[in-house]
Amino acid sequence: MIFVRNLVEVFALVLGVLILGRVLMSWVDNTGRTQLSVFLFRATEPVLAPIRNMLPRMGMLDLAPMIALIFLSLVLQALR
């Protein structure tokens, strides 16, 4: 049971870092020309796309990363 908890914690932390990296890269390279941008997009889009589809359109503002990070934070809190 401890192994599963630790595995979920590591997954949530890594996913959180990837989402933060994607947000930061969107400020620097919003066209997705670099390999890092492509990697971050491919790694996080399966998580962010369903959240984005549930949210109402807000123009250029994308709240999906914030919602995902809040959810990951709640998961981590529940595990501790």
Distance CA 57, CA 65 (A): 14
Burial class (CB in 10 A: 0-12, 13-18, 19+), 47: middle
Q: How many domains are there within the chain?
A: 1
User: Which residue segment(s) compose the domain that 68 sits in?
Assistant: 2-79
pLDDT in tens, 34-45: 899 999 999 999
Mean of per-residue pLDDT scores for the chain: 92
To the nearest 10°, report the CA torsion of 7, 12, 15, 17.
-110
Q: pLDDT, tens digit, for every residue of 15-34? A: 999 999 999 998 888 787 88
Specify the pLDDT at position 29: 81
What is the pTM assigned to this prediction?
A: 0.88
Across the chain, which distance is largest between two alpha carbons, in Å?
43
